[in-house]
Structure 1
Amino acid sequence: MTDSTMVDGAEEPPGRASYLIEGRRVRVSDLFDAGLLAPGTQLVFRRRRSGMAHTARVTGDGRIELSDGRRFRSPSAAAAAASGRGPFDGWTAWALDDGTPLDVLRQKLLDTVAEQPSSGGLAAEGSATRHTRLKDARKQADAGNLIALTVRDLLDWWGLSRRGYLATAQVAAELANHGLSTVPDFAAVGLDDWVALTGPSVDTEDEQETTAEQEPATEQRAATEQKETRMTGAPGPTTSDGEEDDEDEPIQGQTVGNLPSALRGVESVTSSASFEEAFTTMRLNEYSQLPVLNGPRNLQGAVTWKSIALARHTDAEAPFSRAIVRAHAVSYAEQLIDVLPYLEQFGFLLVKDQTNRIAGIITVADVAAEYGTTARPFLLIGDLDRQLRRVISKGLDLAEVIALCDPKGLRKLTSFDQLSYGDYQQVLSNQRQWDRLGWPLDRKPFTDRLNVLREVRNELMHFNDKDKAGDAAIPMLRNMIELLREYGG
């Protein structure tokens, strides 16, 4: 386990921040380092309903080796492989001979790290507070009392205001270390949507057979089904030995649930409604379409102004059912780009929440607004890049610029067009080059702002900016572009 972490360029002394802030998942090998588990330890996975027991041992490199010789980094992958089904939370499934689950050892490790002397920094104190909150959330979840909060409030436990990829990965990892997950997935819904903190999934070996045709009874089961879908939908990353490592990756990119209207409720009518009821509901809400539901999960279709008009035009006495047309429903966790063909076909899509209830609706207008908002900072960043290159190429000597950006000649730079954003920063941070521009501006705040915009640019260009930090950066981008135009001539 890592004993220190870098904070503002300096190494922080060993302490709770070094583990809890790092944001990676606990590994079996971490238990070795802490003296909580020894290589060669025998493990058993007892099935709760059938009574069947699977055995394994812990190898010296921190993997779980099944009786048939297969090895897995992830306890969950090992449990699924041993049983031939899943999903299982491997940390609660595998236990020592005395019945102590691996999860108990993991919690001891987290407690030990949290109790270490703190360096006194804000990061260390924040991680200690968060550790206490997560422990309480797990205790409440185990007792069946799920803590509910908005995604925005959850992120605040980590001092975050948005979800880039690294931030999302840290939150997901630390939740997982405490045996927690959120329902719905915090990465797939809006910042102001509510999520519940749930504990480890249960052994579903018999439940899956006896309740396959039944509605989910609890949020716990819904969380289990959601995890199974994610685990079986695509193979996970493989280890050097070729086995799959099923540690869940946080959801990346824009999902259906990130759209504001996706989970905000939906007006509907039943299939026994009248034309007048549907007409009135659509007019009162300015809808162009209206779902037809005979229960929160029983989608019959939808009616639209077009389908109503066609039904009535064909037969003035037509029953309301004649106006019902096909409607398509998608999960809130689906990638937005993947559902666009269905949206093009139907013009709207109904959205299912984590329990498969119809919880919202998205339209072409919603998606157009989303992509329009996302595109705006991309366009401004492109303009900023052009303005920086213009200023440098117009006011500075190419040979001196190349000497700064590629002193060893490894990149073989020959023109200003080959410069990157990092090169612009390098050049403008150089006092001699700055003085050559002759601007009546202070170099440090100028280059500090360039660095802020670089971080925004990197988030956007790597599609990490789930919560559109680019929106907040738009005024900064515009101000910088205007300043470059004014002083760059």
Structure 2
Amino acid sequence: MTDFAADAGSDDSQGRASYLLAGRRVGISDLVKAGLLEVGARLTFERPRVGEKHAACVTSDYLIELADGQQFRSPSSAAIAAVGAGSFDGWHAWALDDGTMLDALRQRLLDSVAEQASDGEDSVESSTARHEWLKKAREAAEQGDPVTLPVRDLLGWWGAVRRGYLISRQIVAELDNHSLSTSPDFEAVNLDAKVTLVGAPVNADKEEEVEISPVAAVPAPRDEEDTPVIGLTVGNLPSALAGVAAVSPSATFEEAITEMAINGYSQLPVLAGTRNLRGAVTWESIARARHADPAAPFAKAIIRAREVLYDQHLIDVLPLLADFDFVLVRDQTNTIAGIVTANDVAAAYGSLATPFFLIGEFDQRLRRILSDAFEVEYAAALCAPDGDREITSFDDLSIGDYQRILQNRDAWERLGWPLDRKVFDKRVDELREIRNDLMHFNPDPVPDDAVQKIRHMIALLREYGD
């Protein structure tokens, strides 16, 4: 085998180090190229509880080949195919002849590239610090004292304030490299919700019954091809996992009415324990029960309550909310953890829609100002000086084109605004980035300061452009 540490000074090695620490899963090819795993190496997956042993080997094109000839890029996919069913973390399933697990080789590789990534760049330094933090988080999970933190703080370790496809994919990959996942799924809850960094999921199948702790259930392992959660989930709403006030089936009308009145609730779950949902009472159900029979028992006011999982797509839950006004939410431990109403959904979509409308007004106002001030030929010469784009109207321009026009000193002077061109251009550039983020339909609301920046710019354009 080659000595990976000996290659530390090579550009290829440094590139691999930065790449592995900055956001993708370690693969079998990485282990082979690092000299930690040989082509042709024999792998064994033992299941002593059911008396099975499965064999595989590493191919020259970095795949895991089973005894029947099936080949897989992912250790987990290979383990599942070998058994024929179940859910398995292949990195903790396959071992070399000497008993070394693939996961141990993966950790050795990550430690090695972290040691090499020492060129002083901020991105590398933060990646190395994050690697050490993730190692400690894994140790804490293995010792039964897992790290719990808000989603915002988790994102902060990757220098992010909001989730998006690329950053979420990076986080999932780096967590997976350290045999970690979040419970609940950090992508399916709101930014202020707390998640726990839990260890590698137990290899489970029909023959092996596994009891999962209700405190922090371990999600099934994500395969290499898995993509981050896309779209708004129920758990993204603040109320979904914020807890619920409830009454027991043996409650009285007075107890339920008081609870609803002092908190301003329109409905109240009826629970026998934290997981046993018996239904709900509403002002309408109470009124109907008492109207039918003034001496009716409390049970007569209990109606059926609909329940959903926290990681369900919100768009799929909308029909339920349209018909029943509220749904109760179960978290990753199957506990009734929150309630979502039609008003909650309206507020969520409103917070997402407001920036779209504002950035649209900004775009339209600035485009109108430029079209009134310049001929389209003048703008085209500034935006496409090489003639590689056909610009026949101002509707063909992007915010980036607006910047190119305003960055031109002659164009700026022709506007005659008593404003600083560089400061103005900097803000337009910030709004361009906000606009691009919005167009990727990030489910997280934009920060309040971003919305204020758009509002202030619109006010400025109204003053100088009208």
TM-score under structure 1 normalisation? Answer: 0.88
Structure-2 separation of matches of 1:320 and 1:117:
66
After the TM superposition, which residues 205-224 of structure 1 pair with which residues of structure 2 at under 5 Å, given as runs?
A: 205-206=205-206, 210=209, 216-219=212-215, 222-224=217-219
Q: Secondary structure at the match of 2:463?
A: helix
Task: Give the CA deviation at 1:315.
Answer: 1.7
Equivalent position of 1:68 in the other structure? 68
Distance 1:109 1:246 in 2: 18
Mark the CA change 1:30 to 1:20 in structure 2 (over 3 Å): closer, same or farther.
closer
Rounded Cα–Cα distance in structure 1 between residues aligned with 2:26 and 2:13: 20
Deviation at 1:13, TM superposition (A): 10
Q: Report SS of the residue matched to 1:303.
A: strand
Shift of 1:84: 1.8
Partners of 2:376 and 2:31 lie apart in 1 by 56
Q: Do structure 1's residue 480 and structure 2's residue 450 form an aligned pair?
A: no
When residues 427 and 56 of structure 1 are mapped into structure 2, their CA distance, relative to the original with a 3 A threshold, is farther
| Mean Cα deviation higher: 87-96 or 159-168 | 159-168
Aligned residue number for residue 145 of structure 2: 145
User: Cα deviation per residue 1:127-147 (whole Å; 9 max; x = unaligned)?
Assistant: 222111110111121222211
Deviation at 1:470, TM superposition (A): 4.9
Secondary structure at 1:295's aligned position in 2?
coil
Q: Displacement of 1:309 after TM fit?
A: 1.0
The answer on 1:440 being equivalent to 2:436 is no
Quick one: structure 1 residues 46 and 273, their matched pair in 2 at CA, closer, same or farther if it must change by over 3 Å? same
CA RMSD of aligned residues (A): 2.5
Contact kept? 2:182, 2:195, Cα under 8 Å: yes
Task: Map 1:159-238; keep pairs closer than 5 Å.
Answer: 159-206=159-206, 210=209, 216-219=212-215, 222-224=217-219, 227=220
Equivalent-residue separation in structure 1 for 2:134 and 2:224 (angstroms): 23
Q: Note closer, same or farther for the CA distance 1:314–1:446 as it changes in structure 2 (3 Å cut).
A: same
CA distance in 2, matches of 1:459, 1:162: 10
CA contact (8 A) 1:190 1:258 kept: yes
Question: How do residues 307-318 of structure 1 correspond to structure 2 at under 5 angstroms?
Answer: 307-318=285-296
One-letter amino acid of the counterpart of residue 298, structure 1: N
SS of alignment partner, residue 55 of structure 1: strand
Is 1:303 the counterpart of 2:281 in the alignment?
Answer: yes
Question: Could you tell me the TM-score, scaled by structure 2's length?
Answer: 0.92
**Could you tell me which residue of structure 2 aligns to residue 414 of structure 1?**
392
Mapped partners of 1:77, 1:197: distance in 2: 23
Output the amino acid matched with 1:295: G
How far apart are the structure 2 equivalents of 1:21 and 1:138?
16
> 2 CA distance for matches of 1:126 and 1:419?
38
What SS does the corresponding residue of 1:356 show, helix, strand or coil? coil
* Range 278-287 or range 422-431, more displaced: 422-431
Report the CA distance between 1:16 and its aligned residue: 8.6
Change beyond 3 A, Cα 1:25–1:429: farther
What amino acid maps onto 2:31 in structure 1?
A: L
The match for 2:360 is 382
Residues 189-228 of structure 1: per-residue CA shift (max 9 Å, x gap): 22222111111111212576x57xxx844446x224xx27
CA 1:117–1:159: 2 relative to 1, 3 Å: closer
Cα distance, 1:39–1:307 mapped onto 2, change above 3 Å: same
**Contact 1:268–1:291 (CA<8 Å) still a contact in 2?**
yes
1:269 paired to 2:247: yes
Matches of 1:347 and 1:207, distance apart in 2: 42
Q: Name the structure 1 match of 2:446.
A: 469
How far has the Cα of 1:334 moved from its partner? 1.3
* Contact persistence 2:212–2:218 (CA under 8 A): no
Q: 1:296 to 1:67 in 2, by over 3 A?
A: same
- In the alignment, is the contact (CA less than 8 A) between 1:329 and 1:349 conserved in 2? yes
Name the count of aligned residue pairs.
Answer: 459
Q: Is residue 148–residue 195 contact of structure 2 (8 Å, CA) maintained in 1?
A: yes
Name which of structure 1's ranges 415-424 and 61-70 shifts more when overlaid on structure 2. Answer: 61-70
Amino acid of the structure 2 residue aligned with 1:480: M
Q: Which residue of 2 aligns with 1:450?
A: 428
Deviation of the 1:396 alpha carbon: 1.7
Mapped to 1, the partners of 2:107 and 2:13 lie a distance apart of 22
Aligned position for 1:32: 32
5+ long unaligned stretches in structure 1: 5-10, 232-244
Please give the secondary structure, in 2, of the residue aligned with 1:280: helix
Distance 2:98 2:238 in 1: 50
Quick one: which amino acid aligns to residue 83 of structure 2?
S
Q: Does 1:424 align with 2:402?
A: yes
Counterpart-to-counterpart distance in 1, 2:17 and 2:81:
35
Partners of 1:281 and 1:198 lie apart in 2 by 36
Local SS of the residue matching 1:362: strand
